[in-house]
């Protein structure tokens, strides 16, 4: 989108996906559907929260003097994002240098900023939500609480992106420098120096594994998990089961503020622990794993790789060695924050915001304004405020919007709209965004093969299980290939069951790729169309190094 880039090309609009350009100039922006975070149609209330999230993107971009801003629109209920310049073309270079200085200062202080500023503030907001009596609040107090929920969410998503930008830039810059110094012998060379470092996602998976070991030690509990479809009522029927339920509730209290995907409308594990029960059922069949030993082995391999890199650095100028060590330290901190920020903000804060709206929904359903508490998500924030303050009946409007969501759920949204400006200018931020989102997949070279991006090393064969939500995860058996549009952190425990992962979205720094490397299973990410091309039960060969998926047999 500068004078140095090629002439933009208009992206054709499919006949079944008509687009009305409601804002002047939108037709000239490069709109991309954010399938990684929002692959499904969005309810009106969720759109309000994505507005807040991307508002946080722009507040953080301003704080780091970035020369671009994010624009978001909702076309036919789907979320599209466009990154566009915030300054005239002639100012882009100077603004980029200023941004690199500000970003570099944050990269140098990642650990200090997290422990001293960001995490304490995040936890103070969570404590504020926890201290409020949702059920006991009168309507005016609940309305005030809702408004402050939105204000605090604005601030939390600004913090989210203040963390995300320097965190991923640090990891990406380390990868770039490692390649510059030692060559690109493999896609994962630099990432071997970042593996085996504990974070909240790995911690939650390990805690769930520990819970499964407790279940194995209790014959009554193990039998219930092995034989009963309705696990929770059965556990409540025995003394050992009730004791285990207490352990399960303790796990959920710490790690259960997660939904199926990113968004307000997905029930948390606390509300519906079915995904946790599914994983426990899988884990008790396994005696061949020791997560702590696996992580210790990866940490030992990491230290060996670091030692080898330092040997290779001997003879380089001191300035180069210092830069390498600086970025290695920052990348280590970044690997932790890529997951920990999501644990605290993406899920713990969103869960608390969801609780607020579910309480509103409960009250509105009680008055007949809507039919079910979760129908509140089909209202806008202003409509919710009006109903709390003065009542009304929104059932017909909700029914209409639910029908619209279901209609567009049957339509494949185009991956891009507006104008195609070609590759973005090369800079640290655009490089990390490319590694995170992955970019367009390479064209397949032969029939029966999909190309994507290298996500996690190794080659494996297994039967395809096309899983679109955690409700369908019961079909995944040990050694199967998990095929999904995207995987959010709540999907992580499935990685201990899957033999390999294939996704439609993402790049080498996507959540799926990072966690697959920690679980040491092959992954190919960003194929673009795996969930549409691959059919349930097909035998697949997944080559995580080459970024290819081959359909071996039907």
- The 10s digit of each residue's pLDDT in 419-459 is 988 887 778 888 888 888 887 887 777 888 999 999 999 99
The whole-number pLDDT of residue 426 equals 79
Q: What is the largest CA-CA distance in the chain?
A: 76
CB 549 within 8 A of CB 542: yes
Q: What is the DSSP string of 511-528?
A: HHHHHHHHHT--EEE--S
CB 267 within 8 A of CB 347: no
CB 248 within 8 A of CB 443: no
Question: Please, what sign has the CA dihedral across residues 510, 515, 518, 523?
Answer: negative
The whole-number pLDDT of residue 6 equals 63
Of all residues in the chain, the percent with pLDDT exceeding 70 is 99
| Helix, strand, coil in percent for the chain, rounding step 5 | 55, 10, 30
CB 269 within 8 A of CB 261: no
Distance CA 389, CA 391 (A): 6
Please tell me what DSSP assigns to residue 189. T
Query: Which residues are CB-contacts of 402 (< 8 A; sequence separation ≥ 6)?
Result: 375, 378
User: If 0-12 CB within 10 Å is exposed, 13-18 middle and 19+ buried, where does residue 406 land?
Assistant: exposed
Residue ranges, CATH 3.50.30.10, the chain: 438-553
Q: Give Cα 242 distance to the centre of its chain.
A: 34
CATH number assigned to the domain covering 438-553: 3.50.30.10
Cα torsion 491, 492, 494, 500 to 10°: value is 110
* Tokens read off for 86: 């915030």
Distance CA 415, CA 1 (A): 19
The whole-number pLDDT of residue 326 equals 97
**Edge-to-edge strands of the sheet including 9-10?**
9-10, 416-420, 30-33, 78-85, 68-75
Distance CA 397, CA 53 (A): 26
CB 7 within 8 A of CB 1: no
Return the exposure string of 14-40: e unless at least 16 CB atoms fall within 10 Å of the residue's CB, then b.
eeeeebeeeeeebeebbbbbbbbbbbb
CB 182 within 8 A of CB 312: yes
Please identify every stretch of the chain with a pLDDT value under 50, giving residue numbers as ranges: 1-4
Q: What are phi and psi of 32, to 5 degrees?
A: -125, 135
Return the exposure string of 86-95: e unless at least 16 CB atoms fall within 10 Å of the residue's CB, then b.
bbeeeebeeb
Using alpha carbons only, how large is the chain's radius of gyration in Å? 24
Return contacts of 400-404, CB within 8 angstroms, 24+ apart.
401/43, 401/44, 402/375, 402/378, 404/77
* Tokens read off for 280: 């426990």
Q: Give Cα 167 distance to the centre of its chain.
A: 15
What CA–CA distances, in Å, run from 193 to 106, 165, 302, 310? 22, 21, 5, 11
The whole-number pLDDT of residue 5 equals 54
């Amino acid at each position: 989108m500068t004078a140095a880039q090629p002439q933009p090309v208009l992206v054709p609009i499919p006949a079944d996906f008509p687009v009305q350009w409601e804002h002047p100039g939108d037709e000239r922006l490069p709109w991309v559907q954010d399938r990684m975070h929002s692959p499904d149609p969005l309810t009106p209330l969720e759109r309000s929260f994505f507005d807040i999230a991307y508002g946080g993107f722009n507040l953080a971009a301003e704080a780091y003097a970035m020369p671009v801003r994010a624009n978001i629109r909702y076309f036919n209920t789907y979320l599209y994002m466009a990154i566009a310049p915030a300054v005239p073309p002639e100012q882009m270079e100077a603004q980029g240098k200023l941004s690199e200085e500000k970003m570099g200062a944050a990269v140098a202080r990642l650990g200090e900023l997290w422990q001293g500023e960001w995490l304490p503030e995040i936890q103070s907001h969570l404590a504020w939500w926890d201290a409020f009596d949702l059920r006991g609040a009168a309507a005016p107090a609940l309305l005030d609480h809702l408004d402050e929920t939105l204000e605090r969410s604005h601030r939390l998503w600004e913090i989210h992106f203040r963390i995300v930008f320097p965190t991923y830039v640090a990891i990406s810059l380390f990868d770039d420098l490692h390649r510059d110094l030692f060559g690109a012998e493999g896609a994962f060379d630099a990432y071997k120096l970042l593996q085996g470092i504990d974070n909240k996602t790995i911690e939650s998976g390990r805690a769930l594994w520990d819970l499964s070991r407790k279940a194995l030690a209790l014959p009554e509990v193990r039998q219930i998990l092995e034989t009963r479809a309705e696990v929770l009522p059965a556990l409540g029927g025995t003394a050992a089961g009730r004791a285990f339920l207490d352990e399960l509730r303790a796990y959920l209290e710490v790690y259960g503020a997660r939904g199926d995907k990113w968004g307000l409308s997905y029930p948390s594990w606390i509300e519906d622990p079915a995904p946790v029960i599914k994983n426990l059922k899988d884990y008790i069949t396994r005696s061949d794993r020791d997560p702590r030993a696996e992580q210790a082995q990866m940490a030992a391999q990491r230290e060996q790789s670091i030692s080898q890199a330092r040997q290779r650095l001997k003879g380089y100028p001191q300035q180069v060695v210092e830069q390498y060590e600086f970025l290695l330290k920052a990348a280590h901190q970044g690997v932790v924050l890529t997951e920990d920020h999501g644990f605290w903000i993406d899920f713990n804060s969103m869960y608390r915001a969801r609780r607020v709206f579910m309480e509103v929904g409960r009250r509105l359903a009680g008055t007949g304004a809507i039919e079910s508490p979760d129908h509140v998500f089909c209202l806008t924030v202003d409509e919710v405020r009006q109903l709390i303050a003065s009542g009304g009946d929104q059932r017909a409007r909700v029914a209409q919007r639910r029908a619209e969501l279901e209609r567009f759920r049957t339509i494949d949204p185009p991956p891009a709209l507006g104008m195609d400006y070609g590759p973005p200018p090369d800079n640290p931020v655009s490089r990390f965004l490319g590694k995170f989102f992955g970019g367009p997949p390479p064209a397949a070279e032969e029939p029966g093969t999909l190309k994507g991006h290298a996500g996690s090393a190794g080659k494996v064969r297994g039967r395809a299980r096309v899983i679109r939500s955690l409700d369908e995860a019961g079909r995944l058996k040990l050694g199967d290939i998990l095929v999904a549009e995207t995987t959010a952190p709540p999907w992580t425990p499935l990685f201990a069951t899957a033999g390999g992962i294939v996704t439609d979205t993402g790049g080498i720094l996507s959540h799926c790729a990072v966690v697959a490397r920690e679980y040491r299973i092959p992954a190919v990410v960003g194929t673009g169309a795996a969930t549409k091309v691959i059919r349930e039960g097909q035998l697949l060969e997944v080559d995580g190094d080459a970024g290819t998926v081959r359909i071996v047999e039907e």
